[in-house]
Amino acid sequence: MEERLLKTRIWVVCFENPYEIGIHSKQLLCKAKSLMIEDDIKVSAICIGDYVADDLRSLSEYGADEIIYSNETCVDYKQIASILMEMFKNESQKPRLIIFPATEWGKCIAADLAVRIDAGLTAECIDIETRKERNEYKFIFTRAAINSTVLAQIQCINTQVCMCTCKENVFNVSNKYPKNNIPVRGCESKILSDSIQLNILKTEHIFIEEKNLALENAKLVFGIGRGVRDREGLNLIEQVAKKYNAAIAGTRAIIEEGFIEKRWQVGQSGISISPEIYVAIGISGATQHIVGIKNAKIIIAINTDERAPIFSYANYCIIEDFKNIFKELI
């Protein structure tokens, strides 16, 4: 049994979008490494694309113990799933858990592979926990349920392999591991006939002007909730945000009221962020919103209700009408 434990393997599929291994993949690698209870888990970074093997070894700084890669050029998710299926057939590298980024490509590939290998798949996870039962690892996944009103913990049963997709920025990234000369294993595979055949007729780069800073990269974020109440308050926040180069985000409630666009929603049913400073303005502090800001380094809460739950999570609490504060900042 102990020999079996030494071979417990976690795959992290480092394929956020075609030809990209970015911060999302590194976050997942760090999380996978942290799941190890004892020194009995091997984290494999699965990379597909035209990469230089030596460059891939830098992923050891984020917890990868080995690289398994294919240099196939793929144009659709079925091709990626086919290559992963070929890798999976190798008994010596078969995983107990496979983690995917919850991008459009990641979710499509995960769903396809789950059917092929008869694996349990939990989507849009915000956390993964481990425990040992009878010397075997069990994985527990946390995600939103019942229209994002509760957080559910899910465990896959009656399956040899667990799979999950994880949202970006719900895990911290830390290159605290030494850069090692980890093994890089090439996988020879052929694109199978069940892949969709596409002919690329034209490639065109388009640029979209954003109304706000990209939330995922913003250092300073102003989050607005129902306490903002009116357009006058929103205009005031926008003026201060422009002055201090801050991004603006919102809770689900304020999004549904039409104050800002859906793509700026932070929380379980939106995106997760990890800014240096998050200023919660008129936000009560529902669990579904806290999930999206838990990795912020500093949380400043401004609310007129001294019993608002947000104060339990904030580093600094201000009981005041935000308008009185923001007028001084213009």
Domain boundary among 148, 167, 186: 186
Q: Above 70 in pLDDT, residue 2?
A: no
Residue 100: strand pairing partners: 165
For range 248-266, the mean pLDDT: 89
CATH code for position 182? 3.40.50.620
195 has pLDDT over 60: no
The highest-confidence range among 39-53, 59-73, 188-202, by mean pLDDT, is 59-73
Task: Report the C-alpha gap between 293 and 142 in whole angstroms.
Answer: 16
Q: What is the CATH number of the domain that holds 303?
A: 3.40.50.1220
How much is the pTM? 0.72
**Residue carrying structure tokens 């929380």:** 267
Residue 98 vs residues 8, 174, 192: alpha-carbon distances, Å: 12, 20, 22
Question: What are the CA-CA distances from residue 280 to residues 96, 169, 246, 249, 297 (Å)?
Answer: 40, 18, 13, 9, 13
What digits encode the pLDDT tens for the residues 156-175?
888 889 999 998 888 988 76
Q: What is the pLDDT of residue 17?
A: 65
pLDDT of residue 125: 93
Given pLDDT bands bounded at 50, 70 and 90, which one contains residue 190? low
- What is the domain range of residue 65? 2-186
23 and 150: one domain? yes
- Using CA of residue 226, residue 229, residue 235, residue 239, what is the dihedral sign? negative
CA 108 to chain centre: 15
Please give the pLDDT value at position 212: 43
Reply yes or no on whether the pLDDT at 176 is more than 60: yes
Look at residue 122 and tell me if it is in a domain: yes
100-114, 230-244, 253-267, 293-307, range with the lowest pLDDT: 253-267
Distance of alpha carbon 186 from the chain centroid = 27
Whole-number pLDDT of residue 225: 94
For residue 219, pLDDT over 90 is answered with yes
Q: What is the pLDDT of residue 6?
A: 44
Is 201 domain-assigned? no
H, E, C per residue of 201-256 = CCCCCCCCCCCCCCHHHCCEEEEECHHHCCHHHHHHHHHHHHHCCCEEEECHHHHH
Residue 204 falls inside a structural domain: no
- pLDDT tens digits, one per residue of 17-54: 666 688 899 999 999 999 987 777 899 999 988 777 77
What confidence tier does 283 reach under pLDDT thresholds 50, 70, 90?
A: very high
Tally of structural domains, the chain:
2
Alpha-helix residue ranges (DSSP H) falling in the chain: 2-6, 23-34, 53-56, 77-88, 104-117, 231-243, 252-256, 287-293, 322-329
Confidence band of 3 (pLDDT split at 50, 70, 90):
very low
